Structure 1
Amino acid sequence: MTKYSATYAQDRAEIEDLMARYLFAMDYNDFDTYADTFTEDGTLEYARGAVTGRENIRASARTFKEAVGSLYQDVDGNPAILRHVLCQSVIRVEGDKAWHTGFWFETANDGPRLPDSGRLTPTLGTFGIYEDVLVRVDGEWKFQYRNIKNEFLTGRESGAANPVLAMDRLA
C-alpha cells in the first residue's frame, strides 16, 4: 500500500489541474499554454517521435494539430472537432518530483448526422496511456517527460502488463 505525505492532496490537485490545462490547450489550439505545461527542457514523446524543449514542443504540437485536421473530417469535409478525456489516474509524489500513469481517450464529431436533427454524432476515436514524470519548478508542477501511448498504433501500445507497476518501478 502506498503511503501518502501530508501534502499529497494539494500536490495531486495541482497536478490534475496541470493535466486539465494541457488537454484544454491542445483541444482549443492554444499552443503557448500547451508548451508552458512542460519544463524548459521537457520532452514530449508521441506517435511522431520525441521532441525536447518548450519551443520545439510548441512547434510540434501546432504541426500535429494541422495534420490531424486533414485526417479527421466530419461528413461535410470540415476538420472534425476533437476532445480529449483523462480517465483514471495514478499519481505518485515524492518531494518535488512526481510520476503519473493515466488512461485517456478522444472523441470527435465525425460520426453520421442524426436523421431527425441533422446534428453530427460523436465517435470514440483513439485511446491510450500517459506515462509522465513531473517536477515542481518555482512552485508549479510541470511535465519533464510525457510519453503518449496509443493503443491503436503498432509500436506505441502500452503492452499487456499493468502500466502502474512500471511507474512504481521508476519512482
Structure 2
Amino acid sequence: MSLKTLLASTVLALATVAAPAAAQDQPTYSSNYAADRAEIEDLTARYLFAIDYHDWDAYVATFAEDGELEFAAGVSKGREAIRETVIDFAAGIGRFYHTEDGEPAKLRHVMLQNAIRVEGDRAWGRILWVEMANDGPGDSMKMGTYGLYEDEYRRIEGRWLIQRRNVLNEFIDSRNSGPENPVAEMDAAADAYAASVAALP
C-alpha cells in the first residue's frame, strides 16, 4: 500500500469515527417538529407585525395569560401588564426615532436566524432581530437597534403561545447576549426539561 493510499484510508477512518460524535451535538427532531416550528414562527411574526402597527390586542394575544415580557425597562407579567408596558414603550420611542419634522418614525422589525427546540408542549427559541426606521437623513431608512430574543413557548389548548420573552439589546452592556453560544444555552434548557420529564414515575 502506498503512503498516499494509507493516508487517505486513515483520514477516512478518522472521519467515520468522528461523525457520530458530531451528530450527537444536534437535537433529535420529532415527526411533528416541522408543524410545531411553522406555528411558532408564525406566532413570532404576528408579534412583530402587531408591535410595528400598534395592534395591541394582537400583540398581547401572542402571550400566554400568565406570560412574561422582559426588556431593558424591567419585567411585565400577565397580558394586561404587558399591554400597559408596550403602549408606554411605543409612546416614548418617538423621542428617539423621529422624522425630520419631529413626527414619530415608522419602526419595522425583522427576524433573522431563528433556532427552535421543541419538547412535547414546551419549546425554546433564540431569534436574532434587527430594527429599522425612517429616521435617516431626509427621512431615509436607517438601521437602528439589534439584539436577541430569548423565548420560552407553551402549547396551551392546542395553540403555541409565548410563555416568556427576554429582549436582549446587543448595544446595552447589561442587556447583551453571550459570551456563550445562545443556542447552546437554549439546548441545555430543553435537555434539562426533557430529562426531568423522563424522570417522572
TM-score interval (norm. to shorter): over 0.9
Amino acid at match of 1:167: M
Question: Corresponding residue for 1:14?
Answer: 39
Q: Name the structure, 1 or 2, with higher relative contact order (CA <8 Å, separation 6+).
A: 1
Question: Corresponding residue for 1:64?
Answer: 89
Indicate whether 1:165 and 2:170 are aligned: no
SS, match of residue 41 in structure 1: strand
Question: Corresponding residue for 2:68?
Answer: 43
Query: Which digits, 9 at most, give the CA deviation of each residue in 1:128-151, with x for residues without a partner?
Result: 000000000111100001000001
SS, match of residue 98 in structure 2: coil
Question: Which of 107, 112, 130 is the aligned partner of 1:82?
Answer: 107
Indicate whether 1:142 and 2:161 are aligned: yes
Question: Corresponding residue for 1:155?
Answer: 174
How far apart are the structure 2 equivalents of 1:48 and 1:57? 12
Question: Corresponding residue for 1:125?
Answer: 144
Question: How large is the Cα RMSD of the aligned pairs?
Answer: 0.8
> Of the two, which has the highest radius of gyration?
2
SS, match of residue 3 in structure 1: coil
How far apart are the structure 1 equivalents of 2:61 and 2:173? 30
How far apart are the structure 1 equivalents of 2:189 and 2:178? 17
Structure 1 residue 159: Cα displacement = 2.4
SS, match of residue 155 in structure 1: helix
> After alignment, is 142-151 or 155-164 more displaced?
155-164
SS, match of residue 95 in structure 2: helix
Amino acid at match of 1:3: T
Bigger helix fraction:
2
How far apart are the structure 2 equivalents of 1:170 and 1:83? 30
How far apart are the structure 1 equivalents of 2:155 and 2:53? 25
SS, match of residue 174 in structure 2: coil
Bigger strand fraction:
1
Structure 1 residue 2: Cα displacement = 1.4
Query: Which digits, 9 at most, give the CA deviation of each residue in 1:140-170, with x for residues without a partner?
Result: 1000010000011121011222111111111
How far apart are the structure 2 equivalents of 1:75 and 1:38? 35
TM-score by length of 1: 0.94
Amino acid at match of 1:152: F
Query: Which digits, 9 at most, give the CA deviation of each residue in 1:84-131, with x for residues without a partner?
Result: 001010000011100000100000000012xxxxxx311110000000
Amino acid at match of 1:160: P
How far apart are the structure 2 equivalents of 1:139 and 1:69? 38
Runs of 4+ in 1 over 2 A off after TM superposition: none
Structure 1: 5+ residue runs without aligned partners? 114-119
SS, match of residue 94 in structure 2: helix
Structure 2: 5+ residue runs without aligned partners? 1-25, 191-201
